[in-house]
Amino acid sequence: MKPELIQELFEQYGGVFMTPAQKIAKKLENIHGFLFDWDGVFNSGKKSSEFPSTYSETDSLGINLLRFSYWLRYKKIPFIGLVTNQITESAFDLAKREHYNAVYVNFKSKKEAFTHMNDTFNLRPTQVAFIMDDVLDLSAADVAGLSFMVGRKSSPLFMNYVHEKDLVDYISYQRGDLNAVRELCELMMGLTDTFEETIQQRVSVSDEFQAFLEERDEIESKFYHKVDRKIIETVI
């Protein structure tokens, strides 16, 4: 499907393209890593000691399909990272189970995670797509190669601010607790023209998919915790 038709489809559902789909598709050619904010992106942002933040298997599958689509193009697995303001067991569980590369915790400026990815994983900020949802994410969105924001109707002034200032490339039509991550993963697969092949290979559990899984499962997830300006690394 051509980028223009994908844009038309997503706009019918309520997605907002700040950057035309054709230009996003071009930018995706230079993307080799994906960093996801946690609260408000994978969930509603609600949490307490009795109700920790959670994630959806629908979103988890979306990320796995996105990784596989990248592997089909480049025969290597892209960097996947999560960033959260505090220790979140569900984020650790997902990262360990799915063999994500990194979970960043207690980075007061999420822009610092981009510096760490550059120094540790040899990923320049312009090679990373950032998935975000709120004010504290804007400094990181400013340096990312692509930025996707999870939309929500409860913040009309903030949504308008982001729109007028042209601060992100796309705003989702779904909220975080309604599988915005899946929406964004499908958008990126569509714009790289890999969606149909990825689905077909996954459904058939092809040899290529099994090779991808073997390579994925060798990734050792790391936890990076900021303490007194020092970054402490721990294997999850």
- This prediction's pTM: 0.95
Residues of the chain with pLDDT > 90: what percent? 83
Q: Is the pLDDT of residue 134 over 70?
A: yes
Rounded to an integer, the average pLDDT of 35-63 is 87
Domain locations in the chain as residue ranges: 3-224
Query: Which CATH topology does 3-224 take?
Result: Rossmann fold (3.40.50)
pLDDT for position 51: 62
CA geometry: angle at 108 spanning 157 and 106, to 5°?
Answer: 120
Q: In which band, very low, low, confident or very high, does the pLDDT at 117 lie, cut at 50, 70 and 90?
A: very high
Type of residue at 60: S
Residue 12: the pLDDT is 97
Name 103's bridge partners: 82, 223
158 vs 11: CA distance, rounded Å: 20
What is the chain's percent helix, strand, coil content, to nearest 5? 50, 15, 35
> DSSP class of residue 21?
H
Q: What pLDDT does residue 50 have?
A: 61
The per-residue pLDDT for range 188-235, each reduced to its tens digit, is 999 999 999 999 999 999 999 999 999 999 999 999 998 877 888 887
What local confidence, expressed as pLDDT, does residue 119 receive? Answer: 95
Q: What is the mean pLDDT of the chain?
A: 93
d(CA 151, CA 149): 6
Torsion sign, CA atoms 91, 93, 97, 102: positive
Strand 222-227, strand 102-105: pairing: parallel
Q: How many CB atoms lie within 10 A of CB 110?
A: 23
